[in-house]
Structure formats: structure tokens, C-alpha cells
């Protein structure tokens, strides 16, 4: 199985796909009530421990959305990018400790491409990914606000699914390369 994570200090999306690329687990971890970096890390550590307990040694690969590497106008500040990179590294280390698997990192754009998702110019990637999963994944559902909008944490779950499934494609590509040698 492959664990996919969309790590953030506010909401972390989690998904696990099996050897057939079927979603066997999906959730989110709400970190907003944990104000301190270390409280957030301890909360995630407990959640990863729970995953390890639930799935045992069946998680063979871990794929994590690569944290942003550069500034983009109107987006995150240097402080935010630094905090996200630190948290990404902390969660990566926790995963390694519990699963004894070195995480792999994949950029969001690459993960979408590996899933056959193209984002038209002018469209928001998260909304395109969400619609893709709602249209193509019968087991994927979301909750809505009283105003009829998708609850924001489900965007993190959808991103985690895309990361896990990108991992599936990348792992199969590695197997095919070994088979041709």
C-alpha cells in the first residue's frame, strides 16, 4: 500500500491506496486548534502511530507533496514557506520512524499530470482536482457547508489521493524499468 500526504500546518490530507490503486483509506487531520508547531507535530505523530497500528507493515511506500520551493506573487511569505518546509520535514521523519520507509516527494503539478488531470489556464488547481475526483471516483464523497460549498478540508483529502495515486504510478514505472533490464 502507498500512503499519500498533503502536509500543511492547518489541515493535513491523508490517503492510502492498495496494490490496485484503489483508495482504502482517506481522512484529514485538523491542526488549526493546535497553535504551537510542536503541539501540531505531536498530534500528527499520534495520528501516524494510529495509522501504523491500523495498517501494520502493509504500507510499503510513502509519497508526500513536495513543499513549495519558491515565492509566487500573492502567495506565501518567506516565514510561511519556512514553517511549511520545517513541518514537512518533521512529518517526514515521523513517518520514517514508524514505517521504516523513506518518504518520496512529488510536486503537485507532477502528481496531477500522473493522474491525467490538466488544469486549464485561469482555473484553480484544487477545484479542478476536486471535480475530477467527484466525477471519476465513485467512493469519493465530500461534506458541504450550510451554504452549499465543499468543506475546505476535503480539498486536502483530494490532494492526498492524487499524491498517493501519483506514487502508485511512479512505483509501477520503477517496476517496469526493473523488468526491462
Among 65, 67, 63, residue whose Cα is nearest residue 104: 63
Tens digit of pLDDT for each residue in 62-121? Answer: 999 987 544 444 455 677 677 788 899 999 999 999 999 999 999 999 999 999 999 999
Whole-angstrom Cα distance, residue 107 to residue 80? 18
Per residue in 123-140, pLDDT tens? Answer: 999 999 999 999 998 888
Query: What cell was used for 11?
Result: 489541515
| pLDDT of amino acid 73 | 46
- Where on the phi/psi map is residue 144: left (φ > 0), alpha (ψ -120 to 50), or beta? beta
Strands lying side by side in the sheet with 23-30: 23-30, 11-17, 2-6, 61-65, 104-106
What's the domain range around 108?
A: 2-179
Q: Return the CATH number at 80.
A: 3.30.420.10
Average pLDDT, the chain: 89
Give me the number of domains the chain comprises: 1
Q: What is the β-pairing status of strands 23-30 and 104-106? A: unpaired
pLDDT at residue 42 above 60? yes
pTM: 0.88
Torsion over CA: 31, 36, 39, 45 (sign): positive
- Give the per-residue pLDDT at 71: 45
In the predicted structure, residue 13 carries a pLDDT above the cut 90:
yes
Residue 146 CA, distance from chain mean position: 26
Give the three cell numbers for residue 85: 518546509
Rounded CA separation 37/103 (Å): 21
How do residues 20-39 score in pLDDT, each as one tens digit?
A: 999 999 999 999 999 899 99
For helices 153-179 and 125-136, the axis angle rounded to 10 degrees is: 70
- Per the structure block, which three cell numbers stand in for 161? 489521493
Amino acid at each position: 500500500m502507498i500512503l499519500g500526504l498533503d502536509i500543511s500546518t492547518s489541515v493535513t490530507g491523508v490517503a492510502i491506496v492498495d496494490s490496485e490503486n484503489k483508495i482504502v483509506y482517506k481522512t484529514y487531520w485538523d491542526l488549526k486548534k493546535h497553535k504551537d508547531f510542536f503541539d501540531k507535530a505531536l498530534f500528527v505523530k499520534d495520528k501516524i502511530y494510529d495509522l501504523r497500528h491500523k495498517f501494520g507493515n502493509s504500507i510499503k511506500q510513502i509519497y508526500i507533496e513536495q513543499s513549495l520551493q519558491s515565492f509566487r506573487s500573492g502567495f506565501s511569505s518567506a516565514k510561511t514557506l519556512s514553517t511549511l518546509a520545517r513541518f514537512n520535514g518533521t512529518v517526514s521523519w515521523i513517518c520514517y520512524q514508524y514505517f521504516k520507509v523513506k518518504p518520496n516527494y512529488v510536486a503537485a503539478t507532477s502528481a496531477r499530470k500522473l493522474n491525467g488531470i490538466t488544469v486549464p489556464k485561469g482555473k484553480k488547481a484544487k477545484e479542478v482536482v476536486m471535480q475530477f475526483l467527484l466525477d471519476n471516483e465513485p467512493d469519493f464523497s465530500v461534506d458541504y457547508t450550510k451554504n452549499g460549498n465543499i468543506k475546505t478540508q476535503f480539498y486536502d483529502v483530494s490532494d492526498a489521493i492524487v499524491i498517493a495515486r501519483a506514487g502508485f504510478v511512479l512505483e509501477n514505472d520503477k517496476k517496469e524499468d526493473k523488468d526491462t533490464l
